[in-house]
Amino acid sequence: MTLASDHDTAPQVGDLAPKNSLPSGETLIRGLIWAVVLFLCLTPFLLVFAISFGHKVEGASWVWGFSLDNYKRVFVGAEWPDNVTFLYLQKLWYSLYYAVIAAILAVITAFPFTYFMTGLSRRAQAAWLVFILSSLSLSEVFIVMGWDVLLSNRSGLPMLFKVSGATQWLKDVGWFDTLRDWGLANPRNVKFKTSVFATVLTMAYLVWPYAVILLYPPLSRLDRSTVEAAQTMGAGPWTVMRTVILPSVRLPLVGSMLLLFVFLLGVYVAVTVFAEPAKQTMAVSVYEAVRGNTLNAPFGSAQAMILLVTAAVFLGLGQWLSRRNA
């Protein structure tokens, strides 16, 4: 009661703002901040939006315009209605496909890790967090480089398979052919580059530290006495997980998956290196159009918009979910 009433009576800090200060000065500062934020954080997106309606002219240049041709090309191909191709939709499909699998993979493996980590002492948690954050901030280019070395055919794992005799063993038991069917082996040895496996693995690896950081707040705030209460009522570890822990963090789990998914939509380096040319994503296509070989900025912008809208839809979905269940 005391707490509640004291909260009711707590003043807004705004009340403490100087009442006799010059309003013009304050308004000026506020206007300036709005201008800076709008300019830096919104105009880039607006420009992409505006340019997506323009069209390419000879050379590498483009002009303003208002046509939906670029979007048409993404959805049904440039020659529609005479000829329909779903080339770019297919790229979008791969964007979603890789991102979904990698996001789920990352969250599923990061969840038990984070749960165990939050059970440690605060000092130990801080040490783990340093490690996780360092890995999180490590540039995509370095991570791709590391996995590339590990997965490339001349060194790393394939080499290890061969030298250790695992390749021979796989051939002996007949699983080698299965791997070949999956595209994970050439006639001589296992191969991981290029493959969906390597792409998804690297992408999941890329967001794994993010998954830990996202799951950390809800799991560290989880009331451990509820776990103990369930145990005193006869719940084993699995029952506790199923009936107490998972239901109470269901929402953060889904929310984290959505955020990681959105993040993964924009991954570029990992896909260019590990995905087969026919299975590249929309992010790569945007890159190609804006800065790469095709140099068609409006078309790249249209694809970027589609990527953006997809991301926004899923972010909004996450917001809606958390608000509905709040």
Partner 1 sequence: MMARTLKTLFMALSALMLALPIMVVSGAALNSGRTMFFPPREPTLARFKEFFITETVWVTALTNSMIVAFASAALAVLIAWPLAYALWSRGTKASQVLAGLGSMPFALPPIVFGVGLGFLWAFLGVLGSLWAGVVSHAALFLALPLVTISIGLQSIDRAHLDAAATMGATPAVTFRTVILPQTIPYTLSGFFFALVLSFNEFIVMFFVSASSYSTVTLQIFNSLRNGYTPTMAVAAITFIVVSLAVFGAIARFGDLPRLMGAEPAKK
Partner 2 sequence: MKGLVLDNIHKSFGSVRAVEKTRLDFAEGELTALLGPSGCGKTTLLRMIAGLEEPSGGALILGGRDITALPAHKRRFGMVFQSFALFPHLTVLENVVYSLMISGTNKAEALEKGEKLLDLVQLAGYGDRRITALSGGQRQRVAIARALAQEPDVFLLDEPMSALDAKLREDMQVELRLLQQRLGITTIVVTHDQREAMTMADKIVVMSQGRVEQVGAPHDIYHKPANAFVADFIGRANFFDAVVEKGNLRLGDTLIETDVPAQFINGSPVRVAIRPEGPALDTPDMKGTRIPAKITFLRDLGPVRDIHLDTAIGPMIVEYATGETDRAFAVGSATDVTLPPGALHIFPRENTAPSEAA
Within positions 5 to 34, which residues make up the interface with partner 2, using CB under 8 A? 5-6, 8-9, 11, 15, 19
Q: Residue 307, Cα to own-chain centre: how many angstroms?
A: 12
Of 272-301, binders to partner 1 (CB under 8 A) are: 273, 283, 286-287, 290-291, 297, 300-301
| Structure token digits, residue 214 | 């996202």
The owner of tokens 């500062």 is 29
We find the least distance from the C-beta atom of residue 155 to partner 1, in angstroms, to be 6
147 binds partner 1 (CB under 8 A): yes
CB of 14 to partner 2, least distance (A): 12
H-helix or E-strand spanning residue 63: strand 62-63
CA distances from 87 to 8, 22, 94, 264 (A): 60, 60, 11, 20
The answer to whether 35 contacts partner 1 (rule: CB under 8 A) is no
Q: Count the residues of the shown chain that bind partner 2, applying the rule CB under 8 A.
A: 10
With CB under 8 A as the contact rule, the residue among 35, 47, 57, 84 that binds partner 1 is: 47
Could you tell me the two tokens for 211? 């998954």
Query: Which of partner 1, partner 2, none is residue 1 near (CB under 5 to 8 Å by kind)?
Result: partner 2
Tokens of 154: 């001349």
Nearest Cα to Cα of residue 268 among 182, 144, 156: 144
Evaluate whether 261 touches 99 at the Cβ level (below 8 Å): yes
Stretch in the footprint of partner 2 (CB under 8 A) among 1-9, 62-70, 187-195, 213-221: 1-9
Q: Taking a C-beta distance cutoff of 8 angstroms, is the pair 275, 203 a contact? A: no
Alpha carbons 183 and 194: distance in angstroms, whole number? 9
The least CB distance from residue 183 to partner 1, in Å, is: 22
The reply on whether position 195 binds partner 1 by CB under 8 A is: no
Site string for partner 1, 107-146 (x = CB under 8 A): --x--xx--xxx---x--xxx-xxxxxxx-xxxxxxxxxx
Q: Which positions lie near partner 2, rule CB under 8 A?
A: 1-2, 4-6, 8-9, 11, 15, 19
